[in-house]
A and B are shown apart, each in its own frame.
Chain A
Amino acid sequence: MTLREIVETLNATVYLGEERLNEEVTTAFASDLMSDVLTLKDTPMLITGLCNVQTIRTCDMATLDIVVFVRNKKPTADMVELAEDNDMVLIATSYSMFKTCGLLFDAGIQPLY
């Protein structure tokens, strides 16, 4: 599934990384707990309701570069600036975590575990 299809499926807004929307995404991980994100060996797309600078920092350390913010959370200017330094994609949707995961799973995005 391409990032563009993900954006359409989630009726989402792209905050950063418009030029990467043709990239394919195969796996995703959903968590509000950054400690969990820091234990990942792979680099899936992150679906999260935690919207602060630490979300971006954690992704930088864990080498994740695509983030979907759920529940109408919008990344701040500070977050976008830091994410830009790391060539990340930031997307936000008004859908809940559950609905977001359900729609993407149904569309073929795979879990890590």
Chain B
Amino acid sequence: MHQEYTVIEGDFTNAGTASSSVKKTLKQLGVAPQIVKRVVVALYEAEVNAIAHAYGGKVLVDIEADKIHMVVADKGPGIPDIAQAMQEGYSTARPEVRDMGFGAGMGLPNMKKNVDMLNVTSEVGVGTTVEMMVKFV
């Protein structure tokens, strides 16, 4: 099953729309609640990042019988040093992002904790792609 969502820059009101929809689909498919939580927490963190840091992007979700594959690809400033961005507590978030309860430098580390595979690729001035996979068993 393939699903696509559009992420709009600065659109915090709709942050989580994709994650919420994926949550409903996985629940309907009977995926275990603990797995659903790991998937949607990771996807939500990635969605919030795309809205907070980039100029919009796409969320692509592929659900198979035994796993979910998610790609959040944004057009944005990119991440100059991915290893630094992966460190807990490192953040470049604007005050508006912090006002929403985010921007504490916990997003990428929390994604890593919740997924079975995380791959972050980024080109400065072009954008960032976050690829994640979670197994259902």
Residues of A participating in the B interface, judged by any CB pair closer than 8 Å: 32-39, 50, 52-55, 57-58, 60-63, 78
Contact = CB atoms under 8 A, between A and B. Distances in A.
B20 interface: yes
Given A34-B102, A63-B33, A39 B15 contact: no
22 contacts: A33-B101, A33-B104, A34-B102, A36-B106, A37-B101, A38-B106, A39-B106, A39-B113, A50-B100, A52-B12, A52-B100, A54-B15, A55-B101, A57-B15, A57-B20, A57-B44, A58-B16, A60-B16, A61-B20, A62-B41, A63-B33, A63-B37
Interface of B: 12-13, 15-16, 19-20, 23, 33, 37, 40-41, 44-45, 100-104, 106-107, 110, 113
B101 A32 contact: yes
Q: Label chain B's interface by main secondary structure.
A: helix
Nearest to A63: B37
Contacts of B107: 35
Given A32-B101, A39-B113, 13 more contacts: A34-B100, A34-B102, A35-B101, A35-B107, A38-B106, A53-B12, A54-B12, A54-B15, A55-B101, A58-B44, A58-B101, A61-B44, A63-B37
Nearest to B44: A61
Contacts of B40: 61
B16 to A, nearest CB: 4
Q: Label chain A's interface by main secondary structure.
A: helix
A62 B37 CA distance: 6
Tell me which of A53, A54, A63, A78 has the highest count of chain B C-beta atoms within 10 A of its own C-beta. Answer: A54
A50 B101 CA distance: 7
A22 B125 CA distance: 54
A48 B29 CA distance: 33
Contacts of A78: 13
Contacts of A50: 100-101
B100 A38 contact: no
A54 to B, nearest CB: 5
Contacts of A55: 101
Nearest to A86: B20
